[in-house]
Amino acid sequence: MAQKRVIVSGMRPTGKLHLGHYFGVIKNWLKLQDKEGDKYIFIADWHALTTSYTNVEKLKENIEQLMLDWLACGLDPEKNVLFIQSKVKEHAELYLLFGMITPKSWLELNPTYKDLKYNLLKLYNLKAQFLEKVLPLVPALVEGLKLKVEDEKKFKDLLAEEISEAIVKALFEGYVEAELLKKLNIDKKLLYQIDTYGFLGYPVLQAADILIYKGNTVPVGEDQLPHIELTREIARRFNRLYGETFPEPQPLLTETPKVVGIDGRKMSKSYNNAIYLSDTAEEVEQKVRKMVTDPQRVRKTDPGRPEICPVFTLHKLFTDEQTLKMIEEDCRTARIGCVQCKKILAQNINNFLEPIRERRNYYASNKGELWDIFNQGSEQARKVASQTMEEVRKKMNLP
């Protein structure tokens, strides 16, 4: 008999969603929700803490924003189990037990962790170099400033530490790979703070998130493949040690079209270039009006190059074939101006967002209903998760 498909996927609550999230993740979930199989879609709030544990003031608000965005986009609680990770404590229990059987080296080889370590080492090294140079200067400084210092050693250490910190911070930009910060979705100041046990272990938590539902299909982008491989390795190891329990999940590679932001770079909250699903029609118009275009097209009479124009790239996602063709030709022959072209784009984005806004407003004014959906989903997920845990405890001879 063919195995039932069990899809597990999640998203960290980091604020409101933008068009990049919609086309990168949500659109795929919407496609999958009408296909056969069980779908568990969760808000990964514990994962958010692995990089942002110092910054929890907005966590609950971010969770709610994500709930609103998901339902607004049309994720259907009848077709998916929509839930909040921290409300299903069994994830934490399985995470702990998986932690017992996962060799540390598997985690240290995780590319994101390796990148973090590499960047941190570069910074520590830089700091050490400065300390070496700064320390010998301190006695002269104390002398020159005629300072009365009771504990010279303590003062020397403090001064050296402060100076080197300040210098390292000033040089930070050039020394840390911007891509890593973007990938981790953190501020550069936070990089020092995430060299934690929680961050090292987050792929184990991911494995628990998937396997607790016996998930066998995980929709991911290419960059997530190493994590799925680790989940498979953990499943294999558990099965070998305690008997066949977990499936080895397969990645379902998802198509992620290029979604550019208003400055032409990849759309991202950290670049401050995003169009949010919750933006008003006026905000969308304003943002599109500000978009960069073909830099060679200075006057309306200059022919344009749609292939390098971010406005045209976005048109491809929102504009029908016929209009798209017309814009392409008219741009090349300077028959359409950028102002007009942007007006069409803003209108089309607004047409697309209008039903999303409507549903969002509905749930924003009916928060009780919104939370009920996610609380019930969490309860539903919990039933399945606790069955798996019973089986796991039995296999591991836990009382």
Q: 69 vs 328, which CB is nearer to ligand SF4?
A: 328
Q: Is 261 in the site for ligand SF4 (CB under 6 A)?
A: no
Question: Amino acid identity, residue 204?
Answer: V
Q: Is 344 in the site for ligand SF4 (CB under 6 A)?
A: no
Q: Is 304 in the site for ligand SF4 (CB under 6 A)?
A: yes
Number of residues near ligand SF4 (by CB under 6 A):
13
In angstroms, give the least distance from the CB of 339 to ligand SF4.
8
Q: 104 vs 335, which CB is nearer to ligand SF4?
A: 335
Q: 134 vs 331, which CB is nearer to ligand SF4?
A: 331
In angstroms, give the least distance from the CB of 353 to ligand SF4.
20
Stretch that binds ligand SF4, among 182-190, 266-274, 305-313, 361-369 (CB under 6 A): 305-313
| Angular region, 394: left φ>0, alpha ψ -120 to 50, beta rest | alpha
Q: Is 341 in the site for ligand SF4 (CB under 6 A)?
A: yes
Q: 7 vs 344, which CB is nearer to ligand SF4?
A: 344
Q: Which of 75, 309, 349, 373 binds ligand SF4 (CB under 6 A)?
A: 309
β-partners of residue 42 are 10, 83
In angstroms, give the least distance from the CB of 336 to ligand SF4.
5
Query: How far apart (Å, rounded) are the C-alpha atoms in residues 262 and 291?
Result: 5
Q: Is 297 in the site for ligand SF4 (CB under 6 A)?
A: yes
DSSP 200-224: HTHHHHHHHHHHTTT--EEEE-GGG
- Residue 246, exposed/middle/buried by CB under 10 A (0-12, 13-18, 19+)? buried
Q: Is 293 in the site for ligand SF4 (CB under 6 A)?
A: yes
Q: 230 vs 331, which CB is nearer to ligand SF4?
A: 331
Helix boundaries (H) for the chain: 19-21, 27-33, 45-52, 59-73, 90-101, 104-108, 111-134, 138-144, 152-175, 178-184, 197-200, 202-211, 225-242, 281-289, 310-318, 321-332, 338-365, 367-395
Stretch that binds ligand SF4, among 114-122, 301-309, 357-365, 379-387 (CB under 6 A): 301-309
Q: Which of 13, 203, 249, 306 binds ligand SF4 (CB under 6 A)?
A: 306
For 86, the token pair is 């921290």
DSSP, collapsed to helix, strand or coil, labels residue 128 as: helix
Query: How far apart (Å, rounded) are the C-alpha atoms in residues 189 and 379?
Result: 37
- The closest of 324, 349, 323 to 260, measured between CA atoms, is 349
- Residue 282, exposed/middle/buried by CB under 10 A (0-12, 13-18, 19+)? exposed
Q: 203 vs 306, which CB is nearer to ligand SF4?
A: 306
Query: How far apart (Å, rounded) are the C-alpha atoms in residues 206 and 199?
Result: 11
DSSP, collapsed to helix, strand or coil, labels residue 168 as: helix
8 Å CB contact between 106 and 233: yes
Q: Is 331 in the site for ligand SF4 (CB under 6 A)?
A: yes
Q: Residue 381 contacts by C-beta under 8 Å, 6 or more apart in sequence?
A: 40, 42, 81, 83, 88, 213
Q: 47 vs 342, which CB is nearer to ligand SF4?
A: 342
Q: Is 218 in the site for ligand SF4 (CB under 6 A)?
A: no
8 Å CB contact between 192 and 12: no
Q: Is 10 in the site for ligand SF4 (CB under 6 A)?
A: no
Q: Which of 71, 75, 208, 311 binds ligand SF4 (CB under 6 A)?
A: 311
Q: Is 294 in the site for ligand SF4 (CB under 6 A)?
A: yes
Stretch that binds ligand SF4, among 85-93, 211-219, 290-298, 362-370 (CB under 6 A): 290-298
Q: 97 vs 288, which CB is nearer to ligand SF4?
A: 288
Q: Which of 17, 208, 274, 338 binds ligand SF4 (CB under 6 A)?
A: 338
Q: 142 vs 292, which CB is nearer to ligand SF4?
A: 292
Q: Count CB neighbours of 214 within 10 A.
A: 20
Q: 211 vs 309, which CB is nearer to ligand SF4?
A: 309
For 391, the token pair is 């089986």
- The closest of 223, 311, 237, 324 to 275, measured between CA atoms, is 311
Q: Is 29 in the site for ligand SF4 (CB under 6 A)?
A: no
Residues that bind ligand SF4 (CB under 6 A): 293-294, 297, 304, 306, 309, 311-312, 331, 336, 338, 341-342
